[in-house]
């Protein structure tokens, strides 16, 4: 029944998406949720599509609702244009309160007579005590089944203040380097599993199209990707949680990841890092636990600016990992220096006092003047790209 429901949800999504695109291409006509829902009703009333009535109607209506949200996100610039769903990808069906019944830890879905058996993943929460508002059943490409409950929970307890601020420079050699000198190693999950993944992909390529062996081989490839994705997500959660727990203010750099992926030599390594996911995790965890996150502009020359005196190098190649400042003579580690400059730029935007939790070597503003490191009060600053000093 669930497999049939997945197929019906996918069919409704694809048919409605094609209908909406056809209406817009023919007469530039937009489609509201009411019109799309009426189109679903008309589809179920036709004789050749009467099999849509064999599954629960709630997941089909939710597919229309999700498509409306996808269009709204696209026009708002938050997401790309909605795409057609594939039968080989992740399948899901969402049930609202009218489509399921949850009593004493037992889940009954519409059109199903027996309760859905599941394994509870939250040992600290009693499954019989929750009151879910929606239930989502999904199946990933490797054949694993999941059921997700949406439950209202109280706001989390705010973390106590630590008085620490930190700047974070993301990279490939080291996943992240902080302004206090800590380096988080890049685990390179995809690179470590590349040989096994390549072997599974070769086996898949040798299988005949449409055969049972090809289905099994495709599931092994999907299973290998799932393990890599799970390991990466676990690492990003642990790294982001540690930063949010130990610091009140976190300053990171705005990276154009989509543009950086156009570099053929670094695209795979950049994708394996998961910078965008890491930033999203830090952002929502800061909001949840009362921390403050600052994002500075992507054009700020953090790597080639001296964090001690503000001198700006004319150029700095990617292969140069350490460099001496020609103005003050300070020798910098490229990544640590960038993290210090990122922190100074973020504090300059907010007007915070960098001396509260850091040394004097990050108190400069990034302007053409050299700031004294004696007085740790925030001077008047104007954030921008530093100008080379001394006529250099």
Catalytically annotated residues: 169, 253, 335
> Containing H/E element for 137?
strand 134-139
CB–CB of 153/145 below 8 Å?
no
CB–CB of 234/275 below 8 Å?
no
- Name the token pair of 203: 């086996």
Q: How far apart are CA 224 and CA 190, in angstroms?
A: 10
Q: How far apart are CA 193 and CA 34, in angstroms?
A: 47
CB–CB of 110/153 below 8 Å?
no
CB–CB of 82/17 below 8 Å?
yes
Q: Between β-strands 134-139 and 145-150, what pairing exists: parallel, antiparallel or unpaired? A: antiparallel
Q: Between β-strands 249-253 and 165-170, what pairing exists: parallel, antiparallel or unpaired? A: parallel
Q: How far apart are the first and last CA of the chain?
A: 73
Q: What residues contact 236, with CB distance under 8 A and at least 6 apart?
A: 274, 277, 278, 281
DSSP structure class, residue 211: -
- Per DSSP, the residues of 312-349 read B-S---TT--EEE-TTT--EEEHHHHHHHHHHHHHHHH
Radius of gyration of the chain (CA): 27
Q: What residues contact 144, with CB distance under 8 A and at least 6 apart?
A: 226
Number of neighbouring beta carbons within 10 Å of residue 348: 24
Environment class of residue 378 by beta-carbon count within 10 Å: exposed (0-12), middle (13-18) or buried (19+)?
A: middle
Q: How far apart are CA 38 and CA 44, in angstroms?
A: 10
- Name the token pair of 224: 């290998």
């Amino acid at each position: 029944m669930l497999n049939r429901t997945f197929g019906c949800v996918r069919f409704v999504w694809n048919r409605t998406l094609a209908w909406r695109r056809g209406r817009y291409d023919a007469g530039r006509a937009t489609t509201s949720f009411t019109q799309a829902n009426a189109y679903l009703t008309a589809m179920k009333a036709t004789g050749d599509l009467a099999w849509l009535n064999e599954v629960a109607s709630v997941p089909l209506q939710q597919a229309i609702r999700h498509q409306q949200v996808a269009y709204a996100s696209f026009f708002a610039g938050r997401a790309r244009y909605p795409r057609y769903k594939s039968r080989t990808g992740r399948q899901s069906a969402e049930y609202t309160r009218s489509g399921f019944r949850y009593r004493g830890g037992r889940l009954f879905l519409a059109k199903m007579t027996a309760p859905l058996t599941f394994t509870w993943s939250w040992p600290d929460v009693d499954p019989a005590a929750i009151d879910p508002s929606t239930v989502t059943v999904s199946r990933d490409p490797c054949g694993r089944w999941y059921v997700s409950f949406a439950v209202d929970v109280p706001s989390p307890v705010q973390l106590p203040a630590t008085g620490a601020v930190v700047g974070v420079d993301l990279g490939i050699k080291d996943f992240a380097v902080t302004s206090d000198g800590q380096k988080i190693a890049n685990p390179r999950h995809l690179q470590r599993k590349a040989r096994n993944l390549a072997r599974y992909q070769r086996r898949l390529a040798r299988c005949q199209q449409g055969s049972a062996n090809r289905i099994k081989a495709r599931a092994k490839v999907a299973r290998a990707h799932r393990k890599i994705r799970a390991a990466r997500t676990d690492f990003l959660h642990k790294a982001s949680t540690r930063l949010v727990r130990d610091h009140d203010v976190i300053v990171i750099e705005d990276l154009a990841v989509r543009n950086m992926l156009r570099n053929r030599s670094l695209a795979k390594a950049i994708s394996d890092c998961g910078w965008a996911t890491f930033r999203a995790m830090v952002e929502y965890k800061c909001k949840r636990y009362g921390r403050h996150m600052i994002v500075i502009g992507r054009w700020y020359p953090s790597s080639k600016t001296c964090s001690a005196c503000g001198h700006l190098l004319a150029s700095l190649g990617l292969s140069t990992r350490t460099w001496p400042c020609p103005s003050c003579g300070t020798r910098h580690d490229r990544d640590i220096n960038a993290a210090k400059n990122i922190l100074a730029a973020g504090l300059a935007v907010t007007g915070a006092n960098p001396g509260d939790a850091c040394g004097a070597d990050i108190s400069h503003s990034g302007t053409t003047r050299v700031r004294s490191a004696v007085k740790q009060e925030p001077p008047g600053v104007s954030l921008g790209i530093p100008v080379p000093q001394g006529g250099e």
